Amino acid sequence: MNKATQERVQVMRLEDIMGDRFGRYSKYIIQDRALPDVRDGLKPVQRRILYAMYKDGNTYEKPFRKSAKTVGNVIGNYHPHGDSSVYDAMVRLSQDWKLREPLVQMHGNNGSIDGDPAAAMRYTEARLSAISGLLLKDIDKNLVDFVPNFDDSMTEPTVLPAFFPNLLVNGATGISAGYATDIPPHNLGEIIDAVIYRMNHKQCALDDILTFVQGPDFPTGAIIQGEQEIKKAYTTGKGRIVIRSKAEIEPVRGGREQIVVTEIPYEVNKANLVKKIDDLRIDKKVEGIMEVRDETDRNGLRIVIELKKDVKSEIVLNYLFKNTDLQISYNINMVAIHNKRPVLMGLMDLIDAYIQHQKEVVTNRSNFDLKRARERQHIVEGLIKMVSVLDEVVQIIRHSKDKADAKKNLIQAFGFSERQAEAIVMLQLYRLTNTDVTALEKENEELTKTIQELTAILSSETKLLKVIQDELKQVKKQFETPRRSVIQKHIQEIKIDETDMVVKEDVMVAITKDGYVKRTSLRSYNATKSDTSTMKEGDELVAKLQLDTLQTLVMFTNRGSFIYLPVFKLPEFKWKDIGQHVSNLVTMDSEEKIIAVHAVSNFKTEEYFFFTTASGMVKKTRLSDLEVTRYNRAMVAMSVKEDDELISVIRCTFMNDVIMVTKNGYLLKFSDDEITPTGLKAMGVKGIQLGSGDQLIKVVLASVNDEILLLTQRGNIKKLKVKDIALSTRNKKGCLGIKTIKSNPHQFVDCIKVLPKQEVSILTIDGITKLNTILKPVDLNSVGTNMVDAEVFKFVVEDIE
């Protein structure tokens, strides 16, 4: 490294370099990029676009010009950045769904509310809108400060005169380093009335201003809810309002209805909104929508949501308000550059800053006009004086050597000033033919009057404010439009009972032990040749039920959990499909198995669930305890020890005897009065004492006149009357219910309560054997009747007719 280079090297800490550079960058994007100026409501790129169009004569009373020419002028003279960023900013200034009063008029495709991009700048044409003329009016009269542009070849304004309060009328949105702004658009007439009132009542309160300004007025209309939030935002600069689409419910043929949306919230993409509503229909997140159509045309926005017959339209509409952008929250955050600093400002602060700007602008204009008037009056006085000595003046000019000599001679002869002499010698000869002293004297009088008026304005703040108010009134008269957004006092809370949106329909439901669930329409089920549900190898069916979509499934697992799942939430499949695992619908342990399923229509009944574990623990819990509002995960139905598991869940409505059956042939009967109803997380109480090597195989709830069937592994079946089993108390071993045999003893594998007209079969290793014989009750010591010569697993019970 040579010495010269070495002298230029600076040794600095990386943290210092990063902090310094990012600090400079942050200052730049805060002050000169992303945030609007409180005085004219424009960001630098917007201001440069408007000023470039003004300087190029591309104003509203002249023909349109290619947008590419304006973009080129902006980049070449004022804004050395990408052409796309300049063109995008220019397009936004022309979009009447983004700006309450568009500042640019554009011919051609300038985008759409569907988010479509504008045509390329070589195709579109643009010019300033009429109201933009007010932002730039009289800017050549030194009303605002000018600074050199990026290459010092010309100057540009630091702010525009802005003869209407553009920041509040058109709003602003932007994000910079550490700051963001979201200022909503307002109605021009309301804001001007508020500004004028504030000028006349300097001590007024915000409530006085709010008699003029109802709230934001979005170009897309819609309904704004939350008067208190609007007031809070106008007080502090921050607040959250709700914007709701304007929708009506219309009747259509066939006794059906449709929802018609004519206005949507500000800055919502209509195409995405329509797609979202249609996705809800396709995914069946909301029942009852038949079709969604976008019927928007040149007459205005129109989204039609056609509903099925007998669907509650208000409930569907509320669901769409809650789950789509038909209703949004808009966070007001009124940050603007004030005195070169980003400031969070309330409505009064914004109005005061605009009034101060207008006072400075009108003062500068008055000074400029006053100077011009005095200069012109001085010239006119010289011309009047010249008329009285016109022949002598002509004679002196004719005998002068040149222009400078003529001026010198006139000054010496008649006492003209330098400027008066310059004006006289510059007069064209034809002007001498009709130089009328009366016209000059009249002009002199008008100039004197103008000077007096301007002097009065500059010397009196009252007259200065009167000028500003008169001009604002003219703006209001010319450009005021009716309010588009409707203000509603309160934010309406949307409460939706999903069942209200469900169309009642009979369906077939299947649930397997491994947790696969499916819902099938009866039409699909009846069209299937086999009524056997398709399952994975090794899985088994826990429940096959015909239900309606308004019922609720309560599924219990071997770990004591329960899953609450409305039928309409079940995924719809063909009957021959396996279905979907329940873990896709609710969060649960992958190792858990479904052991019992119950369908509930009403949880407010005097019913109970009777729980039994493999170790003989029992518990009774009210059905109403299992009703929940949030069901995104499996919940505890009974606390079960690690080495235990839930094996039985029985639904009961009245007092019964509890009969517990063990593998080694023991029967224990006790009254369920001994078991007090407990909550979900309770562990329960001991029901039966199990001997060594014994295990509980079944629990039956039966009345004194009922009969039960007992099945052994050797294929024997015996029928017992419940009254023949001795009544005991819980936590006992019970009595032996089968004759003891030393060689190959009988062991119970299943037990059921016999119901009238109930068809019973036996599941064996060879398949299912139907039980045709009507058995007679026997005593406890009997081994029953042998029905099959095969290994036996359990009873198979058909549905009761």
Over the stretch 687-716, which tens digit does the pLDDT of each residue have? 999 988 899 999 999 988 888 999 998 888
Asked if residues 711 and 717 have their Cβ atoms less than 8 Å apart, the reply is yes
Strand locations in 732-791 (E): 735-736, 748-753, 760-764, 767-770, 785-786
For 44, phi then psi, to 5°, come to: -55, -45
Out of 25, 54, 87, 123, which one is annotated catalytic? 123
**Is pLDDT at 480 greater than 90 in this prediction?**
yes
The four Cα atoms 37, 43, 48, 49 give a dihedral, to 10 degrees, of -130
CA atoms within 13 A on the CB side of 671: 5
Residue 432 pLDDT: 67
Query: Has residue 673 got a pLDDT over 90?
Result: no
Question: How much of the chain exceeds pLDDT 70, in percent?
Answer: 97
Section 763-788 average pLDDT:
83
Say what the pLDDT of residue 531 is: 67
Between CA 551 and CA 505 the distance in angstroms is 10
- For 326-377, the DSSP string reads TEEEEEEE-EEEETTEEEE--HHHHHHHHHHHHHHHHHHHHHHHHHHHHHHH
Lowest mean pLDDT among 27-31, 274-278, 507-511, 552-556: 27-31
Residues 6+ apart with CB under 8 A from 733: 666, 668, 688, 689, 690, 691
Known catalytic residue at 123: yes
Distance in angstroms (rounded) separating the CA atoms of residues 414 and 420 = 11
Residue 641 exposed, middle or buried by CB count within 10 Å (0-12, 13-18, 19+)? exposed
Please determine, for residue 769, whether its predicted confidence score (pLDDT) is greater than 70.
yes
Summarize pLDDT for 558-601 with one digit per residue, the tens.
Answer: 999 999 999 988 888 888 888 899 998 999 888 899 999 999 99
> Per-residue pLDDT tens for 709-761?
999 988 889 989 999 999 999 999 999 989 888 888 999 999 998 877 777 88
Q: What is the pLDDT of residue 693?
A: 86
Average pLDDT of span 482-505: 83
pLDDT band for position 800 (50/70/90)? very low
Tell me the pLDDT of the chain averaged across its residues: 91
* Residue 437 neighbours by CB under 8 Å, 6+ apart: 384, 387, 388
For the chain, residues classed under CATH 3.90.199.10 are 35-162
Quick one: pLDDT at residue 434? 58
Residues 478/164, Cβ–Cβ less than 8 Å: no
> What pLDDT score was predicted for residue 436?
73
Residue extent(s) of CATH 1.10.268.10 domains in the chain:
380-479
- Closest Cα partner for 514 from 437, 452, 438, 583? 583
Distance CA 241, CA 384 (A): 67
* Topology classification of domain 504-654: Neuraminidase (2.120.10)
Q: Backbone phi, then psi, for 155, in 5-degree steps? A: -115, 160
Residue 675: both structure tokens together: 């078991």
Q: What is the pLDDT of residue 781?
A: 87
3-state secondary structure 433-462: HCCCHHHHHHHHHHHHHHHHHHHHHHHCHH
**Predicted confidence band at 477 (pLDDT cuts at 50, 70, 90)?**
very high
Determine what percent of the chain is predicted with pLDDT higher than 90: 67
Whether CATH 3.30.1360.40 fits 246-325: yes
Tokens found for residue 647: 């094996």
Every domain of the chain with CATH number 3.30.1360.40 lies at: 246-325
pLDDT tens digits, residue range 195-253? 999 999 999 999 999 999 999 999 999 999 999 999 999 999 999 999 999 999 999 98
Q: What is the pLDDT of residue 380?
A: 92
Query: pLDDT tens across 334-355, in order?
Result: 999 999 999 999 999 999 999 9
| Cα separation, 571 vs 611, whole angstroms | 28
Angle at which helix 390-398 crosses helix 403-414, to 10 degrees, equals 140
pLDDT band at 433 (very low <50, low <70, confident <90, very high): low
Structure tokens at 103: 């500042």
From the list 622, 617, 750, 626, the residue with the least C-alpha distance to 684 is: 617
Highest mean pLDDT among 80-89, 543-552, 714-723, 776-785: 80-89
Amino acid at residue number 724: D
The distance from CA 577 to its chain's CA centroid, rounded to whole angstroms, is 37
pLDDT band at 801 (very low <50, low <70, confident <90, very high): very low
Query: Nearest 10 degrees: CA dihedral of 728, 733, 734, 740?
Result: -160
- CA 772, CA 576: separation in Å to the nearest integer? 31
User: In terms of CATH architecture, what is 35-162?
Assistant: Alpha-Beta Complex (3.90)
Evaluate whether the domain defined by 380-479 bears CATH number 1.10.268.10.
Answer: yes
Averaged pLDDT, 173-194: 95
The CATH-assigned architecture of domain 690-801 is 6 Propeller (2.120)
pLDDT exceeds 70 at position 519:
yes
Residues 107-134: what's their mean pLDDT?
96
State pLDDT tens for residues 601-623.
999 998 999 999 999 999 999 99
Q: Residue 4 is encoded by which pair of tokens?
A: 């010269």
Residue 118 is given by DSSP the state P
CA 354 to chain centre: 33
| Burial status of residue 614 (CB atoms within 10 A of its CB: 0-12, 13-18, 19 or more) | middle
At 546 the three-state DSSP class reads strand
pLDDT mean over 399-416? 91
* Positions of CATH 2.120.10.90 in the chain: 504-654, 690-801
Give the residue with greater pLDDT, 390 vs 349: 349
Grade residue 798 by pLDDT with cuts at 50, 70 and 90. Answer: low
Residue 631 in this model has a pLDDT that exceeds 50: yes
